[in-house]
Amino acid sequence: MGMGRAGSYYPGAERLISPVLHLLVLCSLSSLTHIGESQVQTPQCRIQKCTTDFVSLTSHLNPSLDGFDTEFCKALRAYSACTQRTSKSCRGNLVFHSAMLGISDLMSQRNCSKDGPTSSTHPVIPIEPCNYHSRHHQAVQPGTGTGAPEHPRPIYLFCGLFGDPHLRTFKDHFQTCKVEGAWPLIDNNYLSVQVTNVPVVYGSSATATNKITIIFKPYQECTDQKVYQAVTDDLPAAFVDGTISGGDSETRSIWILEKSPGRHVEIHAAYIGVTIIIRQQGRYLTLAVRMPEELAMAFDETQDLQLCMNGCPTSERIDQEGHLQLPMLGLQQASFQQQARVEAQRGVFTLESASRKCREQLEVKDIYFHSCVFDLLTTGDANFTTAAYNALKDMETLHPKREHWHIFPNSAPGLRPFSLLLNALLTGFLITVLL
């Protein structure tokens, strides 16, 4: 009978599923039920482990592929050997005796010999070359000496940018910076991320992000170069070449996931273990990145200007070692008419009202809360409250160390004198204009 190339059809394969399901039922019975007093499984009777080991050895096998019979028979012989080792302690156990009958039936169906090689109870999982997690988690199997060379568990780093803008570096340093114009967040041999920041309010040195450009560099056979670009009011769900993924037809090495149209996208680059979250809130963009440390460190001296790696240059810092101090110079130089025009376009928050607004979404008074207060006092734009909240949630999603989630400012009260002075100046300006 013509059934394709020789070896692609296995007589009796259609009957295979029934005995395997039978053994799965036995596994469940052995752990969940007792059939009479004589069937209670004692701690010495290890039939359940024998059955679960067999299922794990065969669950990935495909009857349509060459070599199936050989591997399945190896697993059956290992299953049989396991039951023989525990036979004395399982006498009278119905589950054990049913398993023995099931093994005999399957060996007969597959024409398996009783003598021959057996499978290891620690099967080697094939390595996926375009999956960073797969490449770095296939350690030598205990007691077998097989498998890929052992790798240390990868260390992941987190970087985030949001608000006016506030930067959380790979080293968990938290900074508030000016960085107007185009600046590189990440620039290594695998990934480049650049942001463009624009002033958010007249007279303030604070800026916010309105453009993000991400370049995924070519990597072996996994992907060609992929470029993603987002600007205010254009948060696409595709790369600039119009594609939404990269890699071969069976295994995607990189893909874009649109969580909320025009507001929230995620980019997953499995081949380098990178996840990026981009959002738009109000008129500005936020960014969160998780990346393996070994890849983040793969750069030379010409790539040392990276805000995620080294933070903002001292000349670009608004905060002073954790103190969020609001700049006054621009406000003092601005004319009353200019200030009145700006204030007419945005709300005015006091320290108390800004704190109350931020507490609506941020329960812990950590640096995200104080950044929210800073942004409201600086801009009057309530969208920065949600931006801070989303930045916190994205950090909790991507940051690998829960104990490092919350960072508390060196001196949160440092906000108070500056914010009070700002409110006094703004009030004075408005009173002068009204008079």
H or E segment and range at residue 192: strand 191-199
Give the SS3 label for residue 226. Answer: strand
Q: Report the alpha-carbon distance of residue 290 to residue 273 in Å, rounded.
A: 8
Along the 435 residues of the chain, how does pLDDT read in single tens digits?
Answer: 444 333 333 333 333 444 454 455 444 444 443 433 334 444 578 888 888 888 888 877 777 677 788 888 988 898 988 888 888 888 888 888 888 898 888 888 888 988 887 766 555 556 778 889 878 765 434 434 444 444 567 899 999 999 989 999 999 999 999 999 999 999 999 999 999 999 988 777 789 999 999 999 999 889 999 999 999 999 999 999 999 998 876 678 999 999 999 999 999 999 999 999 999 999 999 999 999 999 999 998 887 789 999 999 999 998 765 555 543 333 333 444 444 444 444 567 888 999 999 999 999 999 999 999 999 998 889 999 999 999 999 999 999 988 889 888 764 433 444 443 344 334 333 333 334
Q: Give, in order, the Cα–Cα distances in Å from 266 to each of 262, 280, 344.
A: 12, 12, 36
pLDDT given for residue 69 in this prediction: 83
Tokens of residue 339, six digits: 């200030």
DSSP-assigned letter for residue 405:
S
Q: Please give the Cα distance from 365 to 415 (Å, whole number).
A: 13
For residues 214 and 265, what is the distance between their CA atoms, to the nearest angstrom?
13
Write the DSSP string, 326-393: ---HHHHHS-HHHHHHHHHHS----HHHHHHHHHTT--S-SHHHHHHHHHHHHH--THHHHHHHHHHH
d(CA 373, CA 330): 19
Question: What tens digit of pLDDT does each residue of 218-242 get?
Answer: 998 899 999 999 999 999 999 999 9
Which of 91, 94, 86, 85 is CA-nearest to residue 34? Answer: 94
User: pTM of the prediction?
Assistant: 0.64
Closest CA relative to residue 54, chosen from 88, 87, 19: 19
CB 235 within 8 A of CB 262: yes
Q: Strand 284-292 to strand 156-162: parallel, antiparallel, or no bridges (unpaired)? A: antiparallel
Non-local CB neighbours of 120 within 8 Å, separated by 6+ positions:
78, 141, 144, 146
Q: What is the pLDDT of residue 96?
A: 87
Cβ atoms of residues 193 and 221 within 8 Å: no
Confidence (pLDDT) at 136: 75
Interstrand relation of 264-269 and 274-281 (parallel, antiparallel or unpaired): antiparallel
